A = this chain, B = another copy of it.
Amino acid sequence: MRDVVIIGTGQTGVGEHWTRSLRHLAHDAIMPAMRDAGVDAVGALYVGNMLSGQLVEQEHLGALIADFVGLRGIEAMKIEAACASGAAALRTGFMAVASGLHDLVLVCGVEKMTDTSGSDTTTALATAADQEYEIAEGVSFVALNALLMRRYMHEYKLAKDAFAPFTINAHKNAANNANAMFRSPVSAAAYAGAGMIADPINLLDSSPVCDGAACVVLAPADLYKGRAQARIVASSVATDSLALHDRRDPLMLDAVATSSHLAYAQARLTPDDIDLFELHDAFSIMAVLSLEAAGFAPCGGGVRLGQEGAIAIDGRIPISTMGGLKARGHPVGATGVYQVVEVVQQLMGRCGANQVRDARVGMAQNIGGSGATAITHILAGM
């Protein structure tokens, strides 16, 4: 099995792109990534996307995007694992290069959620949960996360403001990211006064509906050593039940724990070695549960990492360093690739005011549904 490196990255700004269709967004991430990598041809394209069939009434994105960016003919397909689709596409690209089947591979995550023609967004997002045993009962995807947050607050006797530091941190970091959707800082007072969506989840606990695309170019380490920007030292996927009521313990994300520990074992690292962690903060509660399941805090201790400032750029375990899902934005199927692009930028020391000092090892973790899929990649700088 060959070592795999990233030799180029690209991304669009995250937001409401009313003048760019899905294929244009993919193009706008792929072309800069190929320029960055200095390549004009690749062997394959793996597209991470969850919602195009439902929202844009377009499937078959592999061939569509390959053709649109001038790569007609190459191997191409779409990979879906709900909100973890971007990382699932990266996992597939990793296999294609590691196996020796392809030397150069594009992984593009893309999602178009505004200005759409198909289902409404709430219905479409609910397909990440168990249709027959959760959604059919009338619960929405946000409401499922609200159940988790309520249970956490009950179990650990917490008030809602315990979660505020996660939102404040994400927005603070996004202010310095030109590609982020929300670049305004948020105060504790604003968090406390934000409109309720599904109690106790309010507007400022939630990542936004938005459009975006991100891309990385993968290559084998031995052939592209001089051009490598980061090395993928771990890649792992784990799953759990879709339905919350089927979980062993709703507050322990088993898939996150398994995927994280598989990744640590592959990389021969421990949580102490991770310099930054791009986690899946689709909702504040997901950030907290991820920190616990991934081994950065004991059960019930995740919120304290926020309260103590450990999640800040200069903290013990910086998270959402470019704004995270909360403030950079969460174009669902693209998110997993955005996370990896940002880790690469950190490892290359290109993050300006948000630079994590001496960042040598970064972890990106993309979650599908309310924790049913967890995909972890650990990257090391060159």
Contact = CB atoms under 8 A, between A and B. Distances in A.
A132 B21 contact: yes
Contacts of A88: 62, 77
Interface stretch (A65-73, A183-191, A357-365): A65-73
B80 A239 contact: no
Contact of A239 (B75, B368, B372): B75
A59 B77 contact: no
Nearest to A93: B95
A369 B54 contact: no
A100 B21 CA distance: 38
Contact of A62 (B54, B63, B81, B258): B81
Interface residues of A, number: 67
B56 A53 contact: no
A173 interface: no
Contacts of A348: none
A130 B65 CA distance: 11
A51 interface: yes
**Among A53, A74, A81, A132, residue most surrounded by chain B Cβ atoms (within 10 Å):** A53
A364 to B, nearest CB: 16
A317 interface: no
**Among A82, A123, A128, residue most surrounded by chain B Cβ atoms (within 10 Å):** A82
Interface of A: 1, 21, 23, 44, 50-54, 56-64, 66-67, 72-82, 88, 91-92, 95-96, 98-101, 118-119, 123-124, 126-132, 135, 236-242, 246, 254-255, 258, 368-369, 372-373
15 contacts: A50-B59, A51-B59, A57-B126, A60-B81, A60-B373, A63-B82, A63-B242, A64-B130, A64-B242, A73-B239, A74-B239, A77-B79, A79-B80, A80-B80, A99-B100
